[in-house]
Amino acid sequence: MTEKKPLRAGGNERVSWTEYFGTLSEFVATRSTCPRRAVGAVLVRDHRVIATGYNGAPSGEPHCLDVGCLIENNHCVRTIHAELNALLQCARYGIATEGADLYCTDLPCRYCARSLVQAGIRRIFFRRLYDSPETWTLAQSAGIELIPLD
């Protein structure tokens, strides 16, 4: 006997947890304040959101949308990346990240990947590729699964 998925209002099948959190990361990205790339991140443990983050300037500092991007080596350095903002939210409020999953609009850069390894993240789900070969190598050596979302 095949188990049917529960139905939502309107008769549509319920979305999977992966699709739910992946879509949530896209919504979080709408808060981004850098016009070059809007990135959203959602940290999840036991099917519960423990933190979210988007790329933007540090609290109280001017945003790219207001004063323009601060470009160094073709990257905006005014912003804190979404993944790091989610980790910093956990640090600020004393939330453990060991064994959590990250759902992100983009594959993390090598700097964020290093922080995610240190934070004990076990899986990273992402929608868009980001040119960061070191992220793949680091994730493999740390035992972090990198899972592309459709």
- The residues annotated with a catalytic role in the active site are 83
Pairing mode, strands 71-72 and 145-148: unpaired
Residues 6+ apart with CB under 8 A from 65: 33, 34, 35
The candidate with the shortest Cα–Cα distance to 65, out of 33, 106, 110, is 33
Distance between CA atoms of residues 133 and 4, nearest Å: 40
